[in-house]
Every structure is written in structure tokens, then in C-alpha cells.
Amino acid sequence: MERRKRYAVCGVSNRGLNMFIGPLLRTFQEHAELVGLLDVDPRRFEVCARLYPEAASIPVFLGEEAFDRMVAETRPDGIIVAGMDSTHATYILKALAKDLDVISEKPMTSTAADAKRVLEAEKKSKGRVTVTFNVRYTAEARRIKELVLEGRIGRVTSVDLNWSIDTHHGASYFMRWNRMRANSGGLSIHKSTHHLDLVSWLVGQAPLEVFAHGALNYYGDQGPENPKTGDGRRCASCEVKQDCAYHRRWNGRVAGGSVKDDHLGTVKPDYTGYHTDQCIFDSRIDIEDTYTASIRFDGGTLFSYSVNFSSPYEGLRLILHGTKGRIEWTHYHAASRTPFPVAEESTLDLMPLFGSGRERIHVVQGLGSHGGSDPLLQEDLFLGPDPKRAYPIQSNALAGAQAVALGEGIWRSARERRLVTMEELLGC
């Protein structure tokens, strides 16, 4: 029998429970072993044991300073980093210093300076970092990658990506730790790294420079739907929630009459001294909810990106223009969350520049979370990359760092009103 690879998890987060801890215990247990859990909040260990009773016997370690002891006592081969974004760098660097492999949730780090530190540390280490960019694994993204590799649209000249995050999902970022730049790097890092990495991977190029604009238009105390000035409110006890358009859009007037999403609905929020329903109109919010950016890649592809975190529906429109044609992917998130009927949830079209007409491509959707991407990603992580896949799909530290640097570049460019280069942020 193959030796099971041993993993310790730093950050018993909602994502950590769903994406790593549960699958390690219940799906990949013959191939990998969960040997330790670390978090700063002891309640997270209780949540874990409640969800997965078999985890109750796994040693737990409290606080960053327990990392060395955890490694000494549990002898992991790899560290899974799944806590708040700003904590990732600490554990990645500690793990690399001990020659351990790392699986890091996106974003790899919350600043470009930390991303650079990780790249430097990885050079000196026997350990390797993998970043879990699950969007690469969606059925449409994989098919687009294949079409590009097959040369169906020739050399990719320009890309347009508009990502819309609806008033439920978008607002959720402004209720949680993500709303402070110190924790998440802002949404151009926390969320956009998914989108920025996707495009870099599809075109097979590294970003060189970015010019961007960004603004806080919907949330924060100046949000146009703010029913009342004043900080510190929470939805659970808010006296003006029936006057809050965001709350009314997604919740009934009785408890329990609400929709669920990826972030808030899977595991009941249970943390010490921290709530996931903080008011989206708090004046302390210091991140943006709207970005537009113009990016240039090292292979000459130009990339126009925009993202909005308060859209009536959730979805995206991705267009790749090439010297021989165009690929267009339009995706509406689950039909139940679109406020109006849509013909199809997701369409993928290939349009040659000359010759025959449009080809509609029907992709086989996978089962499981995030459009079937998470189970495929888990298989690659815990069984090894799928030998039947003809192209690399796992993201390494460099791709993780480039996405973080581009995300930070967007924010810096918007703030400083100038072109920002990846060279200045990453030194490469």
C-alpha cells in the first residue's frame, strides 16, 4: 500500500472544513492523512469535531506560535493553509523553512511583498507551494484552455472579462473579515486573483503592467442604500434591517426565510468574538467594490477587466479575441439567483474570424461545489495530477504570486493614478 501523505491544516475555516478537512477524512483517507489542526480560535476545533466526529482525536494546536510544536509532534509532509488571507504568508514561510510542501488557498498571500518573500523562500526550500485556484478547473475554463492550445483562435490578441457578483454574494464580503484590507488585501486580491489567474493561465502569459480605477460605490457609510448612519450594527440585531435593500432582497421577514451561498450557508458561522453579519454600511470598511483595469501580458495580449460586487445577478462574460477567431463564454450563476429567466445558464461559443459560422460548445459539467471544480482540484491535490490531462492545470507559487501582484497593482494604480509594473512589485 502507498504511504499516505500526512497533512496539517492551518486555519480551520469554513473553506478549510469543506474543501480539505472533510475530504481528507471521508474521501481521500486511503491516500492522505490529516494529522493536525491549527487555529487561533479554539471554538473552530469544536466546530470541526461537531461536523466530523472522527476529527475529535486529531491533535489540535492553538495559535501561530504552536506551529513548530505541531510539526515536531505530528510530522506532516505538507501544510494546508486555509485561514484568513493575511495569515497565509506566515505559515507558508514557516513550512518552506522546514522543507515542507504547502497547499495554499487563494490568494497565496494578501500582499505582493509577502508573495515575493514566498518566491524567495521556495527557491531555498525542498518544499513546493501549490495554490488552489479552483476556477481553472471549471468545465468551461478547461475547454477554453484546450481550444487555445489547439490554436483554434490563433494568437490571443485581447481578452475582455467582466465579472458580476450579486447583491447577496457581493455584500457577504462586506460583512466579514474580508472588508478590511489588512485581512484580505482588498477584493482586487481576495477575489480578483481568481479572475486574473484564470486569464493568465488561459493565455499562458505573465502580466507585465496594469492601469486601473477602483471605487467604493455601494457599501461603507456613504452607500446609497444605507438606511442609517452609525457603526457597529449586525444583521441579527439590526433595528433598521427592514429598511435595508440588501437585507430585504435576500431575506424574508421571518427568521430562516433566506437564501444560502458558498460562503455563509455551508457551515453555520461559529467563531469567538467575530460575526459574519456585520453591517455592510460600516464606516471602517476600507476596500473597494468596483474595479476596471487595463493589463498587458508578456506575450503581447491586452486584457480588459472589470468586476462589480453589487450586481443584480451573478455571472461573467469572458471573450478571447485571436488572430483566427473569438471564444465567448457567458455564464449566469444558478438560475435561482437570477432575478429574471435566462435561456441557458452557461454558453460557450467559438467563432472563426473567417469561414464557417458560430460553433456552440456544450461542455460536460462536473458534479460538486464551485461548478464541479473543487472535486477535480482535490483529486489532483491528493492523488496527484490527473495523468490523462494533456496540459498542466495546478497553480504554482509563481502563478500565485503573479495573481497577488496584479491584484495589488490594480489597487495601487487606482490609488496612485499611475501605471504599475509587476517588476516593481515582484522584482520579476
Ligand X SMILES: NC(=O)c1ccc[n+]([C@@H]2O[C@H](COP(=O)([O-])OP(=O)(O)OC[C@H]3O[C@@H](n4cnc5c(N)ncnc54)[C@H](O)[C@@H]3O)[C@@H](O)[C@H]2O)c1
**Binding-site ranges for ligand X (CB under 6 A):** 10-15, 38-41, 44, 64, 82-85, 87, 105-106, 132, 134, 177, 190, 263, 370
Residue number with the smallest Cβ distance to ligand X? 13
* First vs last C-alpha separation in the chain: 43
Q: How far apart are CA 175 and CA 235, in angstroms?
A: 9
We find the least distance from the C-beta atom of residue 407 to ligand X, in angstroms, to be 12
**Minimum CB distance to ligand X smaller for 82 or for 102:** 82
Q: How far apart are CA 4 and CA 128, in angstroms?
A: 18
**Long-range Cβ contact pairs of 93-98 (< 8 A, separation 24 or more):** 93/117, 93/118, 93/121, 94/67, 94/68, 95/71, 95/127, 96/121, 96/122, 96/124, 96/125, 96/127, 96/129, 97/121, 97/125, 98/71, 98/127
Query: DSSP letter string over 224-243?
Result: TT--S--S--BGGG-TTGGG
Given CA atoms 285, 210, 352, 390 in this order, what sign does their dihedral have? negative
11 in Cβ contact with 95 (< 8 Å): no
**Minimum CB distance to ligand X smaller for 106 or for 145:** 106
DSSP state of 278: B
DSSP state of 3: P
We find the least distance from the C-beta atom of residue 209 to ligand X, in angstroms, to be 25
We find the least distance from the C-beta atom of residue 81 to ligand X, in angstroms, to be 8
**Minimum CB distance to ligand X smaller for 88 or for 321:** 88
**Minimum CB distance to ligand X smaller for 81 or for 426:** 81
**Minimum CB distance to ligand X smaller for 273 or for 339:** 273
We find the least distance from the C-beta atom of residue 125 to ligand X, in angstroms, to be 21
Which positions ≥6 away from 48 have C-beta within 8 Å? 12, 17, 21, 37, 55
Which positions ≥6 away from 338 have C-beta within 8 Å? 313, 314, 315, 332
**Minimum CB distance to ligand X smaller for 169 or for 296:** 169
Q: Tell me, what amino acid is at 55?
A: A
We find the least distance from the C-beta atom of residue 44 to ligand X, in angstroms, to be 4
Q: How far apart are CA 9 and CA 297, in angstroms?
A: 35
**Minimum CB distance to ligand X smaller for 91 or for 297:** 91
We find the least distance from the C-beta atom of residue 126 to ligand X, in angstroms, to be 24
Cβ neighbour number for residue 267 with a 10 Å cutoff: 18
Instruction: Locate 387 and state its grid cell.
Output: 495523468
**Minimum CB distance to ligand X smaller for 13 or for 192:** 13
Radius of gyration, CA atoms only, the chain? 21
**Minimum CB distance to ligand X smaller for 136 or for 296:** 136
We find the least distance from the C-beta atom of residue 178 to ligand X, in angstroms, to be 7
We find the least distance from the C-beta atom of residue 138 to ligand X, in angstroms, to be 11
**Minimum CB distance to ligand X smaller for 233 or for 263:** 263
Q: With residue 73 as reference, give the H or E element that holds it.
A: helix 67-74
We find the least distance from the C-beta atom of residue 41 to ligand X, in angstroms, to be 4
We find the least distance from the C-beta atom of residue 353 to ligand X, in angstroms, to be 35
Q: Tell me, what amino acid is at 235?
A: C
